[in-house]
């Protein structure tokens, strides 16, 4: 092959790599559903189907993170709630471990936390096996990896020993506050306010997406394969279509966690041991000693949403 041909092949290869464009993996926490006790089975099934239908329509291979305690009523496993998890798998989505009862690793001991991870495993393994899948991913509740080096290292070593892959988050956000606001609006049957809240949610998420894109550019000189965190809640059940369409409008295609994690950015060191549950982009930036200015311009949750959600501070 001549030198010119080699150069042409290199140019072609480079353009193919860049033509892959922006990628994001969608991860959805707190399955089967947030505030599960407040809705009838009929509503719960309807909301889950809405959520999954929107994901299917946009070919977004989401991974759901399960807290099996939410599938229990008065200590008994509820078959409707449990079968919702099967629905995720039947429709081709993946499920990961988010602990049984969502404990905060900053507040409980290592052994209490590990017991809670393991309590989630038997039934999760069972339904994954039914769908010829295995349990691979683990997501930290509140994104708390451990608020001391020793605590973080011991849990990371445990997860590694069990062949878990930690599921990081790059696009962290206040979607959960919007969801609480939306739930409180739904109770009032004020349809106009519900629609306005939904619209404000999409606008906020777009700002957040662009903010973390910028942070990625600043930290890595490129937009890494992003991982978005949202929850299985009524807000996303009603607005998943709009949310995914907004992401596509911003030039993204949807990938699964395996593909997202192939990005070398995820090998970046994280030595953040404070109490906050924050984006991995923030963790890496803090680890690299970035100053306060580096984090400037992060979109905040609007006051009216905080008020509706009855949250004092983000």
Contact residues: Zn ion, CB under 5 A = 29-30, 141
Q: Which residue has the CB atom at the shortest distance from Zn ion?
A: 29
For 250, the token pair is 């911003």
DSSP per position, 94-108: EEEE--SS---TTTS
Q: Which is nearer to Zn ion, 103 or 268 (CB)?
A: 103
* Smallest gap from residue 258 Cβ to Zn ion (A): 21
Least Å from the CB of residue 172 to Zn ion = 12
- For residue 72 the two structure tokens come to 């229990």
Q: Cβ of residue 140: shortest distance to Zn ion, in angstroms?
A: 8
Using the CB atoms, write b or e for 17-41: b if 16+ within 10 Å.
eeeeebbbbbbbbbbbbbbbeeeee
Q: DSSP letters along 11-73, please?
A: HHHHHHHHHT-EEEEEEEEEES-TTGGGS-HHHHHHHHHHHHHHHHHTT---EEEE-GGGGEE
Query: Closer CB to Zn ion, residue 30 or residue 116?
Result: 30
- Phi, psi (degrees; rounded to nearest 5) at 122: -55, -50
- Which candidate, 109, 294, 276, places its Cα nearest to that of 220? 294
Which residues have C-beta within 8 Å of that of residue 274, sequence separation ≥ 6? 147
- Which residue has 């929107």 as its token pair? 54
- As measured in angstroms, the least distance from the Cβ of 22 to Zn ion is 26
Complex with Zn ion: residue 29 or 172, whichever CB lies closer: 29
Question: 137 by DSSP, 3-state: which?
Answer: strand
Run of H or E residues at 182: helix 175-188
Nearer to Zn ion, 29 or 175 (CB): 29
Q: How far is the CB of 103 from Zn ion (least distance, A)?
A: 10
Smallest distance, Å, CB 302 to Zn ion?
23
């Amino acid at each position: 092959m001549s030198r010119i041909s080699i150069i042409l092949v290199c140019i072609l290869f480079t353009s193919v790599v860049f033509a892959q464009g922006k990628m994001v993996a969608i991860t959805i926490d707190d399955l089967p559903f947030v505030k599960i006790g407040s809705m009838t089975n009929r509503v719960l099934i309807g909301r889950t189907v809405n959520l999954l239908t929107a994901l299917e329509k946009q070919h977004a291979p989401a991974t759901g993170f399960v807290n099996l305690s939410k599938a229990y009523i008065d200590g008994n496993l509820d078959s409707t709630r449990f079968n919702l998890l099967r629905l995720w798998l039947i429709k081709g989505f993946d499920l990961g471990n988010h602990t049984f009862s969502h404990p905060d690793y900053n507040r409980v001991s290592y052994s209490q936390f590990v017991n809670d991870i393991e309590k989630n495993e038997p039934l999760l393994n069972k339904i994954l096996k039914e769908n010829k899948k295995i349990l691979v991913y683990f997501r930290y509740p509140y994104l708390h990896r451990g608020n001391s080096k020793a605590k973080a290292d011991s849990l990371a070593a445990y997860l590694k020993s069990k062949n878990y892959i930690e599921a990081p988050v790059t696009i962290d956000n206040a979607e959960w506050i919007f969801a609480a606001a939306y739930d409180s609006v739904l109770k009032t049957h004020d349809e106009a306010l519900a629609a306005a809240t939904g619209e404000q949610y999409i606008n906020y998420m777009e700002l957040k997406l662009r903010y973390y894109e910028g942070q990625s550019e600043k930290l890595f000189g490129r937009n890494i394969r992003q991982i978005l965190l949202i929850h299985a809640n009524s807000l996303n059940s009603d607005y998943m279509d709009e949310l995914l369409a907004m992401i596509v409008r911003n030039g993204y295609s949807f990938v699964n966690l395996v593909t997202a994690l192939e990005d070398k950015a995820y090998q970046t060191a994280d030595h953040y041991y404070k109490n906050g549950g924050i984006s991995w982009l923030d963790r890496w930036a803090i680890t690299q000693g970035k100053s306060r200015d580096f984090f400037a311009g992060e979109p905040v949750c609007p006051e009216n949403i905080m008020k509706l959600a009855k949250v004092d501070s983000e």
